[in-house]
Amino acid sequence: MLHCDFLIIGAGIIGLSTAWELQQRFPDKTVWVIEKESHEAFHLL
């Protein structure tokens, strides 16, 4: 079974910035980001 401390759904600007902030605040925790598109922040292109 896989384990993560924080799971972010969506790699848009909000998801990526949330993941970055969580990793800065909790460096000993694992942060995963999953995205349905083929690239992160795809809708910004």
pLDDT tens column, 25-34? 999 999 999 9
Total count of domains within the chain:
1
In a domain, 36, yes or no: yes
Instruction: Note whether residue 20 is domain-resident.
Output: yes
CA 15 to each of CA 1, 6, 20, 29, 30: distance values in angstroms, whole numbers, following the listed order: 24, 11, 9, 17, 15
pTM of the model: 0.79
- Provide the residue range defining the domain that includes 33: 6-44
Cα torsion angle, 33, 38, 43, 45, sign:
positive
pLDDT tens-digit readout, 1-45:
889 999 999 998 899 999 999 999 999 999 999 998 877 766 655
34 SS3 class = strand
Residue 39 counted as domain residue: yes
Q: Domain for residue 1, yes or no?
A: no
Structure tokens at 28: 């000993």
Q: If DSSP codes are grouped into helix, strand and coil, which group holds residue 5?
A: coil
Q: Is 29 a domain residue?
A: yes
Q: How far is CA 26 from the centre of its chain?
A: 14
